[in-house]
């Protein structure tokens, strides 16, 4: 009997994967592969709460799959799948939406943020997406959900829904815990270092994408916002820009903050920006090259996502059948 704990996570293919996605999520996923049973999805169903160009969504989904693998996610060790290929997510999502309270959904920070940004398209999916997100997690009976500090609310509402359902029907779902990596969990914007790096900042130079060319990476770091001092010191409150650059360099070069401070003692921010830019270029180069190679082999990628969906569906369907029986649906 395999008693490994189960992990579920995913990223929406609604834009390009960023350096923040890699350092804050995917790099950590790779390190979890041996210790846990891991399910990693491309969350295309969540992506359509905001209007997407269909051809672009398809392209980005395949690009994201190639990048997952290029970043080191082994399809043999991990179940990698496209969310919409496993109907159990939508099936359980509907049931759970009937056990999610209106007040809970209206308090969700992400709904407020996205409503403000998409005033012409405040749709029901945008409001009820936490029920689908709960289904994503609970359908695999996940023990742990890797999230950033800012996403703990998603796991909390998922637990509330599971507790409510278990209270009515008896033990059905495991209660997942948020899994927050110790380092590099939150990479900030290069232009607005008080905000998390976001794929929506591509045009402003605030974010670095995994598939960016070296010259555009170096240019973005050269323009990175710092402060009026000259000292390279890790102090996120007083020096958010410099601290963010140090955080990125620490992960890419495998150095401590003390080592970085010593390395740049007596040097200016220009040296720091150039060095961090070069470290990021070299970190992303093999990933970009391997992703390009994988994207030229569409048959291989299709085999990966089909095998992943089959494996995911086997686990997910067991949970859905159990839930259907508990709520009183007639068996097939």
Q: What is the set of active-site residues?
A: 114, 196, 199
Among 177, 175, 181, 195, smallest CA distance to 148 is for 181
- Torsion of the alpha carbons at 185, 29, 291 and 46, rounded to the nearest 10: -80
Q: How far apart are the first and last CA of the chain?
A: 29
Among 287, 213, 221, smallest CA distance to 248 is for 221
The partner residues of 253 in beta bridges, in order of sequence, read none
- Both tokens of 183, joined, read 């380092």
Judged on CB neighbours under 10 Å (0-12, 13-18, 19+), 53 is exposed
Indicate the helix (H) or strand (E) that contains 6. Answer: strand 6-11
Q: How far apart are CA 107 and CA 181, in angstroms?
A: 26
Q: How far apart are CA 108 and CA 123, in angstroms?
A: 15
Q: How far apart are CA 202 and CA 84, in angstroms?
A: 27
The partner residues of 81 in beta bridges, in order of sequence, read 41
Q: How far apart are CA 19 and CA 23, in angstroms?
A: 6
- Both tokens of 154, joined, read 């998603």
Length of the chain: 332
**HEC-encoded secondary structure of 74-116:** CCCCEEEEEHHHCCHHHHHHHHHHCCCCHHHHHCCHHHHHHHH
């Amino acid at each position: 009997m395999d008693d490994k704990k189960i992990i579920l996570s995913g990223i929406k293919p609604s834009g390009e994967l960023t350096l923040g996605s890699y350092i804050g999520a995917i790099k950590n996923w790779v390190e979890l592969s041996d210790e846990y049973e891991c399910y990693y999805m491309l969350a295309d169903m969540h992506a359509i709460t905001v209007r997407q160009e269909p051809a672009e969504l398809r392209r980005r989904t395949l690009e994201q799959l190639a990048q997952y693998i290029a970043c080191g996610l082994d399809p043999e060790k991990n179940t990698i799948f496209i969310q919409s290929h496993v109907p159990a997510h939508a099936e359980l999502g509907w049931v759970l939406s009937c056990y999610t309270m209106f007040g809970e959904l209206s308090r969700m920070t992400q709904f407020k943020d996205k409503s403000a940004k998409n005033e012409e398209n405040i749709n029901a999916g945008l409001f009820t997406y936490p029920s689908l997100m709960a289904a994503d997690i609970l359908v695999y009976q996940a023990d742990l959900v890797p999230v950033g500090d800012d996403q703990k609310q998603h796991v909390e509402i998922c637990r509330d829904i599971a507790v409510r359902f278990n209270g009515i029907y008896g033990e059905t779902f495991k209660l997942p815990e948020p899994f927050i990596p110790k380092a590099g969990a939150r990479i900030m914007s290069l232009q607005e270092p008080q905000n998390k790096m976001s794929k929506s900042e591509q045009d402003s130079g605030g974010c670095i994408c995994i598939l960016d060319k070296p010259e555009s990476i170096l240019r973005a770091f050269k323009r990175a916002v710092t402060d009026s001092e000259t000292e390279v010191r890790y102090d996120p409150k007083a020096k958010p820009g410099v601290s963010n650059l140090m955080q990125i360099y620490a992960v890419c070069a495998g150095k401590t903050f003390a080592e970085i401070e010593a390395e740049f003692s007596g040097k200016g921010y220009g040296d720091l920006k150039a060095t961090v830019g070069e470290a990021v270029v070299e970190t992303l180069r093999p990933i970009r090259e391997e992703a390009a190679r994988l994207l030229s082999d569409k048959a291989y990628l299709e085999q990966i996502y089909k095998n992943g969906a089959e494996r995911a569906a086997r686990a997910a369907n067991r949970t859905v059948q159990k839930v259907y029986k508990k709520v009183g649906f007639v068996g097939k």
